[in-house]
Chains A and B, each alone.
Chain A
Amino acid sequence: MDENKVVEQNINEDELFHFVEYDAMKAEQIGYSNYSYWGSVFTNFLKRKSAVFMSCIFFGLVLFSFIALAIGKYNYAELVTDSSLAFISPNGEYWFGTDNIGRDYWCQVWYASQTSIKLALICAVGECILGVIIGLVWGYVRSLDRIITEIYNIFNSVPQIIYMTLIALMIGQSFWIMCVSIIFTHWLVMARNVRNLVFMYRDREYNLASRTLGTPIFRILSKNLLPYLLSVIILRLAMSIPGTISLESMLSYLGLGLDINTPSLGILLRNARAYFLDYPYLLVFPAIIVSLITITFYLVGNAFSDASDPRNHV
């Protein structure tokens, strides 16, 4: 009985299967997978409702800062000091009130938020580029490891505030000097993160294979290693934005940051420090806006870095 069954099945299989004519188009379709890296990053990101909501708030806020400056009754460049108008609480004429020397607070606050965002974005991108390049070379080229580690240690051990103060004293204080000095002192963290990751992936078999096949270093770095690092880089990028805004406010408060004529969060709060106990609106408006920006970046950055980790993709 059993043998008969087997024979039957064989016959059936022969009937069932037959060769199909080769078709290049159809062969492509079988091999094609719908997966695209950035596609899945965005689908994963969009699944997080809170992060999407927060990024909408952020874009809304940036957009509104331009609208706010346009619809405000005073132009930042044309503000005049008039002490008879000092400390007017928010009203129809001065939407955020006036500061201690009678200048409209509304346009100062929005202008300051724009300055802070601009500074943070430029610094984040700058330190990211510098950090990733140095980190890749540091991690990949063995002979440079020792030297760059020593340079890193020395850079890292001198308190950053010394660099900041020296730069402020020797070169001056302006928006671009501030950008350069923040990038100059902050690439270290990114470079170390990237270096440690490169160390982990450098000697995996697929890289060994690539190297034996004679792939140029640049291609190994950019095609084999960089995709693995992307989620860490994005996380660091997003975290550095609230960090930079904080740092800028602190430095400006200490008088080491931007010059007095470029309003930023730190300068506003420094000016308000003596008065905000009696006139709390001087604190409340800049504090709320900037906290919104930094918290949003923090959450969105976390969500986006989760989404950009290929191990979380299906």
Chain B
Amino acid sequence: MFKYTVKRLGQSLITVLIIVTIVFCLLRLLPTDYYFTEDQLMKFTDQQKHDALEAAGLLDPIPVQLVNFYNDILHLDFGESRRIQNGVPVVKVIGDKFGISMRNGLISMALSMVIGIPMGIMQAMYKEKLFDSIGTAYTIFVNAVPALVSYSLVLVFGSRVIGLPSMYSTRNPGPSSILPIVCLSLSSIAWYALWMRRYMIDEINKDYIKLARVKGLSTSTIMYKHVMRNAFVPLVQYIPANAIMTIGGSLLAERFFSVPGMGPLLTDSINRYDTNVVQTLVMLYSSLSILSVFLGDVCMMIVDPRITIASKGGKR
């Protein structure tokens, strides 16, 4: 197990390096004018621009820049933000924002598990009854309708009918983050309900459940002791991923409600050509996603002892 973990993490490290290198090279393809604010572009002469770029080491050949970049990373120096917050270290820019995203994300995740999983279970137990149709209609609606439209509906309903604030404000973080959290939960409730229902129904149709029924076990015992527990195994794999990815925030929901979170940071930094922020974020996101897949496998192994990932079938 230990050997497997080390090997797998080593491979992931190489993948992350490749991804960061690609992004690094892609960013260097853009015209250098993007490095300056509009003010600077107006005032600076060509010579001044050239000097500024040279001082920042941006006119060196790309291999030299890459080596410098790796060197900095090894010293855990992720550089400074250039345009998002002038001169502030990238780590601080990210550090300020990820708390909000993570708090909203985790609340919404807890909410959607608490609502979504029982909803899926009920749908599977009363398959093709009224409750099932309502639940299916909900999942279809959430999956099919563009998020922008459903967010707008939530916004109109929340602020006009209930009277919640329509914009996030730092002075009043409690009530003003209710609507963003609801929006985040909409799709994940549907996700949990959909897959819980699917896996439960797959499980109910298996032979051992029929045997249990013939044996005379009550429906609730069968559901609780056999179906639910087995149906939960494939879902467990995604729970660490869902939890870890809350750090990234949600691009659309946070932009829509002006939440100062991580979601819009990546596109903003690309738009404003803040290369250091982009590189750090890409590195962060790709390592988090690789880590969460790995943790998902581990979780699945803990929940279901029949699954082993370390040995590759050599024993058979």
**Residues of chain B contacted by A291 (CB below 8 angstroms):** 141, 144-146, 149
B159 touches A169 (CB 8 A): no
Q: Is the CB of A287 within 8 A of B149?
A: yes
Which residues on B sit within 8 Å (CB–CB) of A153? 15
Q: Closest approach, in angstroms, between the C-beta of A160 and any C-beta of chain B?
A: 11
> How far apart are the CA atoms of A239 and B289 in the complex, in Å?
25
Known interface pairs A287-B149, A298-B140; A253-B23 also in contact (CB < 8 Å): no
Assess whether A277 is interfacial by the CB under 8 Å rule: yes
Within 8 A of B (CB), among A257-314: 265-266, 269, 273, 276-277, 280, 283, 286-287, 290-291, 294-295, 297-299
List the B residue with the shortest CB-CB distance to A288: B149
Q: Please measure, in the bound complex, the distance between the C-alpha atom of A277 and the C-alpha atom of B157, giving whole angstroms.
A: 9
Among B63-71, B76-84, B110-118, B263-271, the one that faces the other chain is: B263-271
Find the A residue at minimum CB distance from B145: A291
Within 8 A of B (CB), among A151-172: 153-154, 157-159, 161-162, 165-166, 169-170
Say what secondary structure dominates the interface of chain B.
Answer: helix
Q: Of B144, B155, B256, which one neighbours A298 at CB under 8 angstroms?
A: B144
Task: Give the A-binding residues of B (Cβ under 8 A).
Answer: 15, 18-19, 22-23, 26-27, 29-30, 34, 140-141, 143-149, 152-153, 155-156, 159-160, 166, 251-252, 255-256, 264, 266-267, 270-271, 278, 282, 285-286, 289-290
A100 at the interface (CB under 8 A from B): no
- Do A290 and B267 touch across chains, with their CB atoms under 8 A apart? no
By a CB distance below 8 angstroms, the chain A residues around B266 are 159, 161-162
A56 at the interface (CB under 8 A from B): no
Task: Check B152–A269 contact: CB distance below 8 A.
Answer: yes
A-B contacts besides A246-B147, A250-B147, 7 pairs, CB < 8 Å: A161-B251, A162-B26, A162-B266, A276-B156, A287-B149, A294-B146, A299-B140
The CA-CA distance from A298 to B144 in the complex, in Å, is 6
Whether B146 lies near A265 (C-beta < 8 A) is: yes
Contact in complex: B156, A283 (CB < 8 Å): yes
Docked complex Cα distance between A50 and B67 (Å): 61
Output the residue of B18, B30, B145, B290 with the most chain A CB within 10 A: B145
Determine if A256 is an interface residue (Cβ-Cβ < 8 Å). Answer: yes
A169 touches B140 (CB 8 A): no
Interface of A is mostly: helix
B23 and A254: CB pair below 8 A? no
Encode A92-104 as 1/0 by CB contact (under 8 A) with B: 0000000000000
- Whether A246 contacts B152 in the complex (CB less than 8 A), given A161-B251, A161-B267, comes out as no
A242: Cβ under 8 A from any B Cβ: yes
11 of the cross-chain contacts (CB-CB < 8 Å) are: A157-B15, A169-B30, A250-B252, A276-B152, A277-B155, A277-B166, A287-B153, A291-B145, A294-B146, A295-B144, A295-B145
In the bound complex, residues from chain B placing their C-beta under 8 Å from that of A170 are 29-30
4 closest cross-chain pairs (CB), A and B: A298-B144, A246-B146, A165-B270, A294-B144
Give CA–CA (A246, B150) in the complex, Å.
11
Residues of B within 8 A of A283 (CB): 152-153, 156
A245 touches B (CB below 8 Å):
yes
Contacts of A159 in B (CB 8 A): 266, 282, 285
Cβ–Cβ contact A162 & B282, under 8 A: yes
Q: Return A112 CB to nearest CB of chain B, in Å.
A: 12
Contact A290 to B270, CB < 8 A, known contacts A157-B286, A157-B289: no
Instruction: Report the bound CA distance from A266 to B147 in whole Å.
Output: 11
User: Is A108 an interface position by the 8 A CB rule?
Assistant: no
Chain A residue contacts of B155, Cβ below 8 A: 277
Q: Tell me the residues in window 240-254 of chain A with beta carbons closer than 8 Å to chain B beta carbons.
A: 242, 245-246, 249-250, 253-254
- Across the interface, do B143 and A290 meet the contact criterion of CB distance under 8 Å? no
On whether the beta carbons of A294 and B145 are closer than 8 Å, the reply is: yes
Q: How far is the CA of A170 from the CA of B34 in the complex (A)?
A: 11
**Residue from A256, A287, A295 in contact with B140 in the complex, judged by beta carbons closer than 8 Å:** A295
Using A246-B146, A277-B155 as known contacts, say yes or no to A165 and B267 having CB atoms under 8 A apart.
Answer: yes
